[in-house]
Structure 1
């Protein structure tokens, strides 16, 4: 075990990581069981209860159709979580292998991959998402794929950058001298040494994926009504913000709490895994 690895094992888990992880776990659990613990049917109209303020019967009030806002938030957490974690998983599955291949082979292979990546990364993420979703009908699965593809270039460039430094190490030359196969070198020698950096970036990228997914839903390109995705709920509340601000405020606050918690996890993982951050922990 290297000295750096030993120092990492001796370090305390940052408090910011514990706090963020606890909030994320709670929100994930609520996202999974939310539809079953919601006090009302999130799609049920109740015209006589339209735009009622928060009360004992409706903790977060009701919307323009009389639907219980708390029930819709509990039922809709799944969408934001699925977009964040699903899109990040797609960017990892595609971006990490591309980055490893580009770093290992270099030459024309590296040039081709990186020119395509440079072209993709030069476009604003929201524009790429719009272009992908413009050629197909909206839906949760398609939004997850679109957001995931948006962040493939970032994961590819990061993986390539870290892998290049790992490939210059002596143990890689030793593996090549033993005539190990390319797959073995990339999987057993390179990947374990780039994972810490990738994990930190992926945890932070979840935040951007949730934001982009919510933005696309806000524009009507994500889950469609009567789905209770938080970005869609905020979009639907715009005409009523002056009369019933709780309709948009409640999902907005939930979205903010989720984003801050995920960001805490990313910051905590960076403090824990990045040797350059040693001694600068938040707790």
Structure 2
């Protein structure tokens, strides 16, 4: 009993305050996204007042350009923004890391073919590429996830391949190959566990870039389509109010910034944590 208490008191201080702030703020955003229909005081597209009403007891953040409750729109926007960004990030990491590891292990013509294809995609500005594709295809959530995930997978591929090339020549990988282990074993049991530290750090950055990318697409009119809400579209809808001193466009912009900072705080702590654990094991 006392040993367990000592263990708990030893573990909690290892999480720095910055990481706690990031975890709490990110958790609040995630909670709002998951339980949006139950947390939001009004419906997503429900008109509840006049245009751009000020903050009041009835509307904690005021109303938007159509008289919808801005707090409710923010909560539903969190669901849309986080869902699309998270799904695109998972797709980009799943596709980019597997292809990067595979290219590093197989090498030869396969590596050259994939790397030159990735170079070709990366030579085209990502936003312009997405705008061209989305101007032809419908702006559904699935299409947005696929476009964002595939384009972002090129960055993940580059990182995963660079890390895997270094790991692939290490002694424990050579020993696994000499034991007769196949490429799948080498990729998932030897390379992947030792590449997690840089990938975890990149995961947070990629998620934030996905949020910013989605917001930019929505602001330009090719992202999430009305009446659905996401933070980038809300900035676009309410941008005219800035001239009159109405903060309706600044609130979703601030939410994007706060989410970016909180996720980066968590990612930095996880990176430091995994690096410390590896260093401790190496010294032991």
Q: Does the pair score TM above 0.5?
A: yes
Partners of 2:264 and 2:246 lie apart in 1 by: 27
| Counterpart position of 2:41 | 39
| Counterpart position of 2:61 | 60
| Counterpart position of 1:162 | 163
Partners of 1:158 and 1:27 lie apart in 2 by: 28
How many residues in Structure 1 have an aligned counterpart in Structure 2?
Answer: 268
Secondary structure of 2:223's match? coil
Q: How does 1:121-270 map to 2 (within 5 A)?
A: 121-243=122-244, 245-270=246-271
Contact 1:82 1:144 in 2 (8 A): no
Any unmatched runs of 5+ in structure 1? Answer: 1-8, 279-283
Runs (4 or more) in structure 1 with deviation over 4 Å come to none
Partners of 1:131 and 1:17 lie apart in 2 by: 39
Residue-by-residue CA offset, 1:114-164 (whole Å, 9 max, x unaligned): 111111122222122213312201122211221111211111111111111
Any unmatched runs of 5+ in structure 2? Answer: 1-10, 280-284
Contact 2:65 2:237 in 1 (8 A): no
Residue-by-residue CA offset, 1:75-130 (whole Å, 9 max, x unaligned): 11111101221111010111011101110111111111111111112222212221
Residue-by-residue CA offset, 1:174-210 (whole Å, 9 max, x unaligned): 1111111111111111111112221111112111110
With 72-81 and 13-22 compared, the bigger mean Cα shift is at 13-22
The TM-score normalised by the length of structure 2 is: 0.88
With 136-145 and 156-165 compared, the bigger mean Cα shift is at 136-145
Contact 1:39 1:71 in 2 (8 A): yes
| Counterpart position of 2:3 | none
Secondary structure of 1:246's match? coil
| Counterpart position of 1:90 | 91
Contact 1:16 1:267 in 2 (8 A): no
Structure 1 residue 244: Cα displacement: 5.6
Partners of 2:266 and 2:122 lie apart in 1 by: 25
Q: How does 1:98-137 map to 2 (within 5 A)?
A: 98-137=99-138
Contact 2:62 2:71 in 1 (8 A): yes
Partners of 2:111 and 2:207 lie apart in 1 by: 27
Contact 1:13 1:272 in 2 (8 A): no
Secondary structure of 2:68's match? coil
Q: Which has the higher contact order (CA 8 A, sep 6+)?
A: 1
Partners of 1:250 and 1:163 lie apart in 2 by: 42
Say what the alpha-carbon RMSD is for the aligned residues. 2.1
